[in-house]
Amino acid sequence: MALTNQQIAQVETVLKQRLRNKFQNYNPEPASMPFHTRLLGKDRMALFSFIHSLNTNFGTSIFEPVALTLASTTFKESKTQTVAGTQISESAQRVIQNIIDDLTTANSKPNKNAEIEEIRKVARSGKMKTVKLTKVDVWLEGYDHQLYFFDIKTAKPNKGGFKEFKRTLLEWVACVLAENPNAKINTLIAIPYNPYEPKPYSRWTMAGMLDLEAELKVASEFWDFLGGQGTYLQLLEIFEHVGIELRPEIDRYFSLYNK
């Protein structure tokens, strides 16, 4: 399903606004790198610093609003930076810890459907605890009432962080089921692009902790899920088009650092 003209215009607007706002408010870090600067030039060092700064908030400033735009025609409701819930039962916390312990020691393999059902059984059992969890980057509700919560990660997440990624996904499940034990809930990690292209994404590093079919969407899997088949390639074309249109502005901005 191709993106509508309105969606394309909205994505282009997000990109232009975010980039221009970055130009207006960005100040390169004052760190002195005399060898690099003399070898490469002030403008290239400024560009290097700019890209590094942009990468740190690319998810919240660009990927998340773009995701909402894409999901607007395929999902009933979509939100960003949303709280999954505030209550978890102590019994659910114990179940989550047991799941993570078993995965860590390789006593079991990840099976998200089974894990959700384990949590569902105890979602309201025992004492309820108030918690402050990681916010949901992209919150979606389908027309079939299924919920999809995404945690957007960098293209090369730290291998040591997978255990905490898993905990976040399971805690979101527990919060939702504490409020509605019958909810249809899916919690996933999204990685916006594959840094290894054209080779496949190296999923093996996550295989012991994540259910790769039910908890991970990479590149086209994520964007096509949001906007329909072909969305990822269309999105790349939009980014390229905006980049070409803004190239004179970009060149003009970085030429200031040659003075």
Q: Which stretch of DSSP H or E encloses residue 128?
A: strand 128-130
Task: Tell me whether residue 35 is exposed, middle or buried, using C-beta atoms within 10 angstroms of its C-beta: 0 to 12, 13 to 18, 19 or more.
Answer: exposed
Question: 26 and 51 in contact (C-beta within 8 Å)?
Answer: no
Assess whether 34 and 118 both reside in one domain: no
- Residue 98 and residue 175 share a domain: yes
Q: Are residues 114 and 191 in the same domain?
A: yes
pLDDT attached to residue 122: 97
Q: d(Cα 93, Cα 129) in Å, to the nearest integer? A: 9
What CATH number does the domain containing 146 carry? 3.40.1560
Q: Model pTM greater than 0.95?
A: no
Q: Are 131 and 87 in contact (CB under 8 A)?
A: yes
Report d(CA 151, CA 134) in Å as an integer: 9
235 and 220 part of one domain: no
Please name which of 92, 74, 181 lies closest in space to residue 138, comparing C-alpha atoms: 74
Please indicate, yes or no, whether residues 147 and 159 belong to a single structural domain of this protein: yes
Say whether both 103 and 69 belong to one domain: no
Same domain, 93 and 146: yes
**181/96 same-domain check:** yes
Q: Is the pLDDT of residue 203 over 80?
A: no
β 77-82/128-130 pair status: unpaired
The per-residue pLDDT for range 116-142, each reduced to its tens digit, is 999 999 999 989 999 999 999 999 999
As for how many domains the chain has, the answer is 2
Q: Are residues 113 and 173 in the same domain?
A: yes
**Nearest in space to 112 (alpha carbons), one of 171, 168, 186:** 186
16 or 160, higher pLDDT:
16
Is residue 186 within a helix (H) or strand (E), and if so which, with residue range? strand 185-191
Average confidence score pLDDT of the chain: 90
157 pLDDT above the threshold of 90 = no
Confidence at 159, pLDDT banded by 50, 70, 90: low
Query: What is the average per-residue pLDDT within 160-188?
Result: 95
Distance CA 163, CA 186 (A): 18
Q: Are strands 77-82 and 185-191 parallel, antiparallel or unpaired?
A: unpaired
Where does the pLDDT of residue 42 fall: very low under 50, low under 70, confident under 90, or very high at 90 and above? Answer: confident
Range of the domain at 102: 75-227
Q: What is the pLDDT of residue 93?
A: 97
Residue 205: other Cβ atoms inside 10 A: 14
